[in-house]
Each structure stands twice: as structure tokens, then as C-alpha cells.
């Protein structure tokens, strides 16, 4: 229960702030003396519109922070609290959640104002109540301020909305938000990335509209000097005394000053600095030193870049101008910090990766321009912060752990380097035998090195094959008695089928009954959900007993 609270506390705080702000502003506009006359015209639409607008300010302030990669990476590297680092790893999820709430508050705001415009228009009708007609007629004489922005019943409300700054900016923001949300669906992002990229960058238009939206001051309230002279609670029931200087002088009204810019100015400055830094780093030359083609349509790209520093498990964004000037794709670094190069392994599965493979194959001896942004921190960088760690990969999801295992190999070679990590369990699930080939050499080197250093039990790896042909099955059966595995060539034999995760977690929990164990995974959502539940299930309620801490790779 405590672990679930840790994972959800940021969402609880965020939703609590939204609820508190909404209720506070709703009650303010429902009960404030300055808005008695405004409520008479608009009814409850006033409070709904203003409360949702204030929550939009809060969420638009937050929406840019989770996608400021350098800020998140800096905070992650500076934070010593594991629970907070895990929350930072979920920054994109938080970004999505904030965007959903922006949509909800936008719907409330738009619907409320549609009713408000209708009520403003009805206030000019000859059939309106006397007080409503009196309030709507204010401002027709010299030195009078108005309350109702619709000046006559014959006014075309649609045209009035479109020619006003608040109305036009509101329409533009709503259209932009619809485009951004609809183009953010998984289908569009996977199949038409450039559509997603272009429409998402309409956020610039959205924020401009957001800042200028309140300039018109259409929703108006009674001014403070007027309140001290004109008691609305009394005067609204004594219309015959309106104009009497001593009793009910004519009320004066004014719109609120725009405040949205105060909410969003700091996040905007942070994000602008973020983009400048990204651009500066992407302009530095990247030299491709080697391209290796591996089985299962995987290509390894080895690169060098001046002043490039990395940690195990970090990731970078790559862009190839020959393919697209706008597409940036995240890839985990598969090299170790101790290597004299850095590398990524790219699985060829889509249009962009297919195009990248063709370019590399055609230009093995020519220069292929590549832009790079990063590196950025990820969950796998915390593997070394636990005494016991479990790394679980599915398919190409093994790439974050390639860097980790390579770094372990280097540290084992250098006795001067001390590690907190004392035991690592590595699970890898693959569908076909060819996927093992590019990674088996690393495991073999690590296996030999650990044996020579007397640390054979430091790494416990379990490789699972989930798919095989009849010919492969016959070959495996024929060589099953050999000392080394027939597929990988390693001492540890390959398992066939899927892991029994309950049995695996129970065995590890029994082997380390009083440990904090880090669990790191990179794979499909179904696997992630299973592992997250198992971590909670096998963690003891007693703080002195075993605890599994789940960490998922997120890009």
C-alpha cells in the first residue's frame, strides 16, 4: 500500500491542486459581491467558466515541464530519492495526463461560455426581466460603463465572437487543441510521424492565444470603488433608487486584467532554453566510425562526438536529415562509458529505420550526416544503486542492459573500481534464435571474465526462446547433452517457452530475504504490467524484509 502511495503521490497532489483551485475560484465567483450583477445575467455559467479558466492556467503552466528533457535529466541526476527518480521516469505519462485534463477544462470553459453568450444575448431582449434589461442597457449613455458586451438584441453573436480578441483567440486555441490531441494518437505517431510533429508544434500558437485571450475583458465585474458606493445586495431590489447619488449611484464595471502570462512565463522561458540547448548540441559533428549488420534486421551504429559523456543505460535522440529534418527517434546507448566510442542498435521495423538502413548500406564509405541530441538519463542508470538488481528484456529491449553489462565487464577488469552491486539477474525473452547472435558475444566475454575473477555467481542470466521451427527443435534435441548451449554457445542453457515469473520472483525473494531489489524492464506493456504487480505482491509489508522496486524504461 505504501509503495502504491509513493507511485501515485504526485498525481494526488496535482489532482488535489486542480480540485482546490477549481472549488476556490468557483465559490469566489458564486459568492463575491463584485459579481452579483454578472451572475444575474449569466447565472452559474460565470463560475464554471472562471474556475475552468484558472485550472487551465495551472495545467498549461505544467504541460511543458515534463517534455523539457534536459530539465528532467538534470533533476533525475541530482535527485537522491529513488521514489522521486521513478516519478521523473514517468514524465511523458504525466505530460499526457495533464493534456487530458486541459481537454476536460477546455470543454467546460467553452460550453460555459456558449451558455454565457446566449444569456448575454437574451439580456437585450424586450422580454427580459426589468433588472436584466436595466443591467444590459448600462453603458448606452455618456460616462457609463457597460456590463453586457452584447449591445443590442439584433447583434450577430457569432460575428461578435469572431471579431473580438477573446472570441477569436478562443476559437483558434480550440481548433489547435483538437488537432494536437487527434494527431497524438498512437496510430498517427507510428504511421505519420511528421503530421504528429507539425501539429504538436502548434503549441506555439496555442500559448500565444492563451496569453492574449483575456485581453478583451469581456466578463466584467463591479469595480472596488463602485462597490463602496453602490451596494449591489441592496440596490438590485430597489431599482427605483438607481441614480440616487446617496443611495444607489449607477454601478461601474471593468474586466479583469490578464493574468495567464504570469502562470506560463517561467515554463516558457525554461522550454525556450531547452530548445536552444537541444539545437546547440545537435549541431555538433557526429562521426560514424562503423556500421555493423546483425541478424534479425538489427544494425549497430558506432559513433564519436567531441565532449560526449554518458552513463550506462542512457539514451539519445537521432536525426538523419537525408530522411527527415523533423523526425527525432530515441535509441538506448549499447556501449559502455569505458568504450572509446558510443553505439546504438537499431531494429529495422518502420519507414524511418528502413530508410536509415538503406542509407548506411549504400554509403559504407561515404559520410552520412547524423544529428544527435543527448544523452539523457533513464531507469537503467539506477542498476548500480542496488545491491541486487534484476534486468528483464524482451527482444530488442535488451539494448539498455547491453550498456550495463559492458560496464560491469570493464569494472570487473579493473580491481580499483568498486561497485555497490553484488548480484545481477538477467532475463532475456526472444522469439527467434537469430536474435541472440549479436548479444551472445558480450555475454560470453562477461561469463569468461567473471569466472577468471572468481565472480562466477555475480551474474545469473536466463535466456528464454519463445519460438522455433521443427528443424531447430530437432537440432536442439540432438545436442541437448553438450556442455555449452547449442544456440548461444554459453555455459547457461537456453530455456524454451515463457518464464514462470511467480516462481522466479519467489526464488529470488527467498535467496535475498532482507534486501531492496531493483527490477528493471524494457519490453511490451503487458510484460510491464505483470512485473509491476509481481513486485508489489512479493514485497513484504515489513520494511526489514525483501522489497522489489520496479523501474520501467520509458522514452
Mean pLDDT of 169-194: 88
Mean pLDDT of 135-163: 83
E-strand ranges in 104-235 read: 220-222
Helix (H/G/I), strand (E/B), else coil: 94: helix
Count CB-CB contacts under 10 A for residue 156: 11
Residue 298, CA distances (Å) to 322, 355, 402, 555 in order: 20, 13, 14, 19
Q: Which of 281-285, 378-382, 530-534 is least confident?
A: 378-382
Q: What is the CATH code for 380-552?
A: 3.40.50.80
The rounded percent of the chain whose pLDDT value lies above 70 is 86
Query: The C-alpha cell of 286 is what?
Result: 557526429
Instruction: Place 48 in a pLDDT band, splitting at 50, 70 and 90.
Output: very high
CATH match for 284-377 among 3.80.10.10, 2.30.110.10, 2.40.30.10, 3.40.50.2000: 2.40.30.10
E-strand ranges in 337-449 read: 342-347, 371-376, 388-394, 423-430
Report the pLDDT value the prediction gives residue 5, as an integer from 0 to 100.
Answer: 47
Count CB-CB contacts under 10 A for residue 445: 13
Domain extents in the chain: 2-164+216-224+257-276, 284-377, 380-552
Burial track 257-292 (b if 16+ CB lie within 10 A, e otherwise) = ebebeebbeebbeebeebeeebeebbeeebebeebe
Count CB-CB contacts under 10 A for residue 239: 12
- Digit-coded pLDDT (tens) for 278-313: 888 888 888 888 887 876 677 888 888 888 888 888
- Digit-coded pLDDT (tens) for 330-339: 888 888 888 8
pTM (predicted TM-score): 0.80
Query: The C-alpha cell of 418 is what?
Result: 568498486
Instruction: Place 1 in a pLDDT band, splitting at 50, 70 and 90.
Output: very low
* Pairing of β 516-522 and β 459-465: unpaired
388: which strand partners? 423, 517
Q: How many residues would you count in the chain?
A: 555
Q: Which of 243-247, 447-451, 498-502 is least confident?
A: 447-451
Count CB-CB contacts under 10 A for residue 255: 15
Q: Is the confidence at residue 538, as pLDDT, over 70? A: yes
485: which strand partners? none
Report the pLDDT value the prediction gives residue 2, as an integer from 0 to 100.
Answer: 42
How far apart, in whole angstroms, are the C-alpha atoms of residue 167 and residue 214? 10
- Digit-coded pLDDT (tens) for 78-110: 777 766 777 777 788 889 999 999 999 999 999
- Digit-coded pLDDT (tens) for 210-236: 999 988 788 888 888 888 888 888 888
Instruction: Place 4 in a pLDDT band, splitting at 50, 70 and 90.
Output: very low
How far apart, in whole angstroms, are the C-alpha atoms of residue 390 and residue 424? 6
How far apart, in whole angstroms, are the C-alpha atoms of residue 126 and residue 132? 10
Q: Which of 36-45, 67-76, 359-368 is least confident?
A: 359-368
The per-residue DSSP string of 35-47 comes to GHHHHHHHTTHHH
Helix (H/G/I), strand (E/B), else coil: 412: helix
Residue 237, CA distances (Å) to 36, 220, 467 in order: 12, 21, 82
Mean pLDDT of 263-276: 92
| Burial tier of 474 (Cβ tally within 10 Å: 0-12, 13-18, 19+) | exposed
Q: What is the mean pLDDT of the chain?
A: 82
Residue 527, CA distances (Å) to 129, 183, 472, 495, 546 in order: 64, 27, 26, 18, 22
Q: Which of 19-23, 493-497, 508-512 is least confident?
A: 493-497
Q: Is the confidence at residue 432, as pLDDT, over 80? A: no
E-strand ranges in 397-546 read: 423-430, 459-465, 495-496, 516-522
| Nearest residue to 385 (alpha-carbon basis) of 137, 13, 79, 145 | 79
Mean pLDDT of 371-400: 82
Helix 501-511 vs helix 525-538: crossing angle, to nearest 10: 40
SS3 content of the chain, % helix, strand, coil (to 5): 55, 15, 30
The CA-CA-CA angle for residues 347, 361, 405, to 5°, reads: 40
Helix 45-62 vs helix 91-122: crossing angle, to nearest 10: 150
Report the pLDDT value the prediction gives residue 290, as an integer from 0 to 100.
Answer: 83
Q: Is the confidence at residue 3, as pLDDT, over 60? A: no
Instruction: Place 26 in a pLDDT band, splitting at 50, 70 and 90.
Output: very high
| Nearest residue to 135 (alpha-carbon basis) of 220, 256, 50, 217 | 220
Report the pLDDT value the prediction gives residue 54, as an integer from 0 to 100.
Answer: 94
Q: Can you list the alpha helix ranges (DSSP code H) found in 283-398?
A: 351-362
Q: Is the confidence at residue 268, as pLDDT, over 80? A: yes
Return all residues near 35 (Cβ < 8 A) that are at least 6 apart: 29, 46, 221, 222
- Digit-coded pLDDT (tens) for 453-478: 666 677 787 888 776 555 454 545 44
Q: Is the confidence at residue 151, as pLDDT, over 50? A: yes
Amino acid at each position: 500500500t505504501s509503495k502504491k502511495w509513493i507511485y501515485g503521490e504526485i498525481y494526488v497532489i496535482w489532482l488535489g491542486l486542480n480540485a482546490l483551485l477549481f472549488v476556490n475560484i468557483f465559490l469566489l465567483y458564486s459568492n463575491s459581491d463584485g459579481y452579483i450583477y454578472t451572475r444575474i445575467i449569466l447565472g452559474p455559467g460565470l463560475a464554471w467558466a472562471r474556475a475552468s479558466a484558472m485550472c487551465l492556467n495551472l495545467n498549461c503552466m505544467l504541460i511543458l515541464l515534463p517534455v523539457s528533457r534536459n530539465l528532467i535529466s538534470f533533476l533525475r541526476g541530482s535527485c537522491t530519492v529513488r521514489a522521486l527518480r521513478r516519478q521523473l521516469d514517468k514524465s511523458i505519462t504525466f505530460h499526457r495526463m495533464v493534456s487530458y485534463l486541459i481537454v476536460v477544462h477546455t470543454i467546460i470553459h467553452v460550453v460555459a461560455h456558449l451558455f454565457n453568450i446566449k444569456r448575454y444575448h437574451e439580456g437585450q431582449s424586450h422580454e427580459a426581466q426589468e433588472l436584466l434589461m436595466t443591467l444590459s442597457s448600462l453603458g448606452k449613455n455618456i460616462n457609463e460603463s457597460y456590463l453586457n458586451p452584447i449591445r443590442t438584441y439584433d447583434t450577430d453573436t457569432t460575428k461578435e465572437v469572431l471579431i473580438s480578441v477573446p472570441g477569436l483567440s478562443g476559437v483558434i486555441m480550440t481548433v489547435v487543441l483538437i488537432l494536437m490531441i487527434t494527431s497524438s494518437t498512437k496510430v498517427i505517431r507510428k504511421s505519420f510521424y511528421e503530421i504528429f510533429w507539425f501539429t504538436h508544434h502548434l503549441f506555439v500558437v496555442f500559448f500565444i492565444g492563451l496569453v492574449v485571450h483575456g485581453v478583451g475583458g469581456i466578463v466584467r465585474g463591479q469595480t472596488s470603488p463602485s462597490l463602496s458606493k453602490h451596494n449591489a445586495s441592496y440596490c438590485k431590489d430597489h431599482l427605483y433608487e438607481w441614480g440616487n447619488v446617496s443611495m444607489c449611484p449607477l454601478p461601474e464595471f471593468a474586466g479583469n486584467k490578464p493574468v495567464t502570462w504570469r502562470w506560463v512565463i517561467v515554463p516558457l522561458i525554461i522550454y525556450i532554453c531547452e530548445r536552444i540547448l537541444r539545437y546547440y548540441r545537435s549541431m555538433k559533428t557526429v562521426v560514424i566510425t562503423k556500421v555493423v549488420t546483425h541478424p534479425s534486421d538489427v544494425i549497430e551504429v558506432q559513433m564519436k562526438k567531441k565532449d560526449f559523456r554518458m552513463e550506462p543505460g542512457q539514451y539519445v535522440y537521432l536525426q538523419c536529415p537525408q530522411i527527415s529534418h523533423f523526425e527525432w527517434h530515441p535509441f538506448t546507448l549499447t556501449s559502455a562509458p569505458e568504450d572509446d566510442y558510443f553505439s546504438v542498435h537499431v531494429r529495422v521495423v518502420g519507414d524511418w529505420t528502413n530508410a536509415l538502413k538503406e542509407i548506411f548500406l549504400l554509403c559504407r564509405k561515404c559520410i552520412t550526416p547524423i544529428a544527435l541530441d543527448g544523452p539523457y538519463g533513464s531507469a537503467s542508470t539506477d542498476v548500480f544503486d542496488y545491491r541486487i538488481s534484476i534486468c528483464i528484456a524482451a527482444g530488442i529491449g535488451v539494448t539498455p542492459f547491453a550498456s550495463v553489462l559492458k560496464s560491469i565487464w570493464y569494472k570487473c577488469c579493473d580491481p580499483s573500481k568498486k561497485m555497490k552491486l553484488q548480484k545481477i539477474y538477467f532475463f532475456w525473452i526472444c522469439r527467434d534464435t537469430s536474435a541472440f547472435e549479436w548479444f551472445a558475444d558480450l555475454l560470453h566475454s562477461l561469463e569468461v571474465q567473471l569466472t577468471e575473477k572468481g565472480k562466477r555467481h555475480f551474474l545469473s542470466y536466463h535466456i528464454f526462446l519463445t519460438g522455433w521451427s521443427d528443424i531447430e527443435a530437432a537440432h536442439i534435441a540432438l545436442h541437448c547433452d553438450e556442455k555449452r548451449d547449442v544456440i548461444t554457445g554459453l555455459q547457461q542453457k537456453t530455456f524454451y517457452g515463457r518464464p514462470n515469473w511467480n516462481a522466479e520472483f519467489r526464488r529470488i525473494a527467498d535467496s535475498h530475504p532482507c534486501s531492496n531489489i531493483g527490477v528493471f524492464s524494457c519490453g511490451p506493456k503487458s510484460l510491464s504490467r505483470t512485473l509491476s504487480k509481481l513486485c508489489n505482491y512479493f514485497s513484504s509489508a515489513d520494511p526489514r524484509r525483501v522489497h522489489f522496486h520496479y523501474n520501467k524504461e520509458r522514452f
